Structure 1
Amino acid sequence: MERIIIDGDACPVTDDIIRIVENTGISVLIIRSVNHFSLAEYPDYVSTIYVDHGVDSADFRIVKLTTGEDIVVTQDYGLASLLLNKAQHVIHHKGYEYTTQNIEQLLTQRHISAQVRQQGGRTKGPKKLTQQDHDIFSNFLKQLIKK
């Protein structure tokens, strides 16, 4: 495993990831839009790349940079589907891995929700992450790294 790439515009577990990989030799690469610029200081094993604020700029850069040794963390189902055959692992911040078995259902649900919103309906947004959610993700990532 070479590194963990984070789709960093809205990743609620960035600090968890940085803490978990400390002293493992695994580097962390955060890809963010310039709209999400941060002055946060990170350890030497963490780097950040900022991309233009275009709709899919971060996604395109992540796809371009990902190798077969990387773990990518994203909540974007579309991006995850593009990376399934490219990255070693593509995972969600809720502590599960995207697979060829679950990605179709996730994309279908996303499409249905988009249709509802286009017709003026409302859909529920994601719930705020709880400490239990952080613990689930952290345990999942630690197990993945041990493999």
Structure 2
Amino acid sequence: MAALTILVDADACPVKDEIYRVAGRHGAHVVVVANAFLNVPREPWIERVIVSDKFDAADDWIAERAGPHTVVVTADVPLASRCVKAGASVLGPTGKAFTDSSVGMALATRDLMQSLREAGAVTGGPKPFSPKDRSAFLGALDRALMRLKRATKDG
């Protein structure tokens, strides 16, 4: 059975503690990928990877390793798209799953919002991260790992 792995786009991830908690329950390996040093718990199943500060270095590292036995946690829509295409389960920090059917719309919405911001039509950012978002993420990560466990048992 292939090991379950959670790849974390960690630089701005608000749910790292939740990831560690759920991964510990499921026996999943966690890889925390960042451009700079981040503290992570000292557990044999948690790995810290520091990539260069080159643009998209963390995204490239994650995308190259994403696959059917991985869950990727990111708010970065282009990275989510790359990982979905690689067969990974992809979750945003609010628990929203990126899928084949949703990632195209997410990319289009992202591009539209970027154009509106550049034109000065939109000045606000995303809504603040809430306890409800954190709770939704915990449930979504738990379900994603359960699905992958079943798939690796059956396949």
- Please report the TM-score for the alignment, with normalisation by the length of structure 1: 0.89
Indicate the residue corresponding to 2:146 in structure 1: 146
Indicate the residue corresponding to 2:117 in structure 1: 117
Shift of 1:44: 2.1
Deviations 1:62-120 (A, max 9, x none): 11122321110111110111111213301111112111211111111111111122223
Indicate the residue corresponding to 2:12 in structure 1: 10
Task: State the number of aligned residues.
Answer: 145
**2:85 is paired with a residue of what secondary structure?**
coil
Shift of 1:23: 4.1
Indicate the residue corresponding to 2:63 in structure 1: 63
Matches within 5 A, 1:1-147: 2-34=4-36, 37-147=37-147
**2:124 is paired with a residue of what secondary structure?**
coil
Q: Percent same amino acid at aligned positions?
A: 27
Question: Does the CA-based 8 Å contact 1:93-1:137 persist in structure 2?
Answer: yes
Distance 1:46 1:39 in 2: 11
Question: Does the CA-based 8 Å contact 2:93-2:137 persist in structure 1?
Answer: yes
- Please report the TM-score for the alignment, with normalisation by the length of structure 2: 0.85
Question: Does the CA-based 8 Å contact 1:71-1:87 persist in structure 2?
Answer: no
Structure with the largest fraction of helix: 2
List alignment gaps of at least 5 residues for structure 2: 148-155
Distance 2:101 2:65 in 1: 25
Superposed structure 1 runs of 4+ greater than 6 Å apart = none
Q: CA RMSD in A?
A: 1.6
Distance 1:105 1:67 in 2: 22
**1:10 is paired with a residue of what secondary structure?**
coil
The one-letter code sitting in structure 2 at the alignment partner of 1:77 is: V
